[in-house]
Every structure is written in C-alpha cells, then in structure tokens.
Amino acid sequence: MVAIVESKALGVNETIEFLVDTGASRTTICDKDALRLGIDYSKLERLSEGMLGIGGLVETYIMKNVKLTFKRENGKSHVENMEKIYVLKHPIADERIMRIPSILGRDILNKYTLIYDKRHETAYITDEEPPFGC
C-alpha cells in the first residue's frame, strides 16, 4: 500500500510503499525508506526501549505529527493524521536490513475493515461495512 508521508517539521513529503502487517502493532518506517527520505534522526525523539522484531532489538525513533495520504480506488485521497510513527535505525544498514519494508500496522488497520481476496490475490482496506457480514 502506497502513501505520501508528510512531516512539515522534517521537510519530508515523499511516497513510501508499506507492507500491510496485521501482526505489527505500530506503523513503522524502516531504514531504507528513512534514508531515502533523508530523515534526520537527530531531530527525532529516541524511544528508550527500542523495538523488537524479527531481526532482534533495534534503535527506534519517534516521528511526530505525520500525515499519511493514501489514494482510494476512486482516485480520491484519504488522509490519516498520525500523532506518531516509528522510525528504525539499525547499527549497520547492510543489504539484509535494506530489504526490510516499512510497515502499515494495526494502529491504522484497526480503524478499518481489511478484506483479503485470495482468489484475486488482492487486499482491500475500507471504512465501509463488508457486504457479507464479517
């Protein structure tokens, strides 16, 4: 899922492709996207406990007052104003780390209905009630 990530405080206004992850509690920007966006970690608050994931414990920062803009199927935009998004910083951004995608977590997903259509290999996120009464 692609979104425009905007932080006026950091001068960021770029797109990121997020992996929809129902197992992740927090929306997180990973190293490759943080580097591409030119995020200055010195301007972010450091999360004291870090974040635990598949790769272990990693240094984590908080990006505050972030706007995510998603394109709807009908061409219109949907905006999520986030109080905070987490940004990872591994000690070494090697090839393995640079393959880790940014994550769209349950802090956003839980506000909507997520429909996975296995037959068409498509996922939909909607604010409408599903027609089949899930």
In angstroms, the CA 28 to CA 3 distance is: 13
Residue 120 has pLDDT above 70, yes or no: yes
pLDDT at 134 over 80: no
Q: Which of 53, 66, 79, 54 is nearest to 13 (CA)?
A: 66
Using one digit for the tens of pLDDT, what is the confidence trace for 13-37? 999 999 999 999 999 999 999 999 9
Computed over its alpha carbons, how large is the radius of gyration of the chain?
Answer: 15
